[in-house]
Amino acid sequence: MTLPSTFPRLKGFRFPREVRGGNRAANSAIHIIAVGRLRVDPRTQDYVAKRIALGNSKLGAIRCLKRYIAHEIFVIIMRRPREINQSQIAV
């Protein structure tokens, strides 16, 4: 069922983002990485500027950056056991 275009927005309704629970230490580490990269890395600064230009707030842009960093970390972690297994086979 689609809603008509004149459907009023619900006050206080926020689109669901990430799960608020989870590992606090990991979330803190990702935040520290994001803030550090935002201060130093020109590519990260360009990424956040692009997100802001697309209409995100600064906090929303940082949230996107943190999601991107979490994805990078996940790929590294998932690749690691494969490298360990290959090195054991080679020995």
Looking at the structure of the chain, the number of domains it has is 1
- The average pLDDT across 66-75 equals 93
Residue 79 lies in a domain: yes
pLDDT at 89 over 80: no
Residue 4 lies in a domain: no
Q: Cα separation of 34 and 30, whole Å?
A: 6
Residue 63 lies in a domain: yes
Indicate yes or no: pTM above 0.75. Answer: no
Domain extent, residue 35, equals 24-90
pLDDT bracket for residue 69 (50, 70, 90): very high
Instruction: Look at residue 63 in the predicted model and tell me its pLDDT.
Output: 93
Residue 1 lies in a domain: no
pLDDT bracket for residue 39 (50, 70, 90): very high
Residue 3 lies in a domain: no
Residue 6 lies in a domain: no
pLDDT at 87 over 80: no
Minimal CA–CA distance to 47: which of 61, 36, 30?
Answer: 61
Instruction: Look at residue 80 in the predicted model and tell me its pLDDT.
Output: 81
Residue 75 lies in a domain: yes
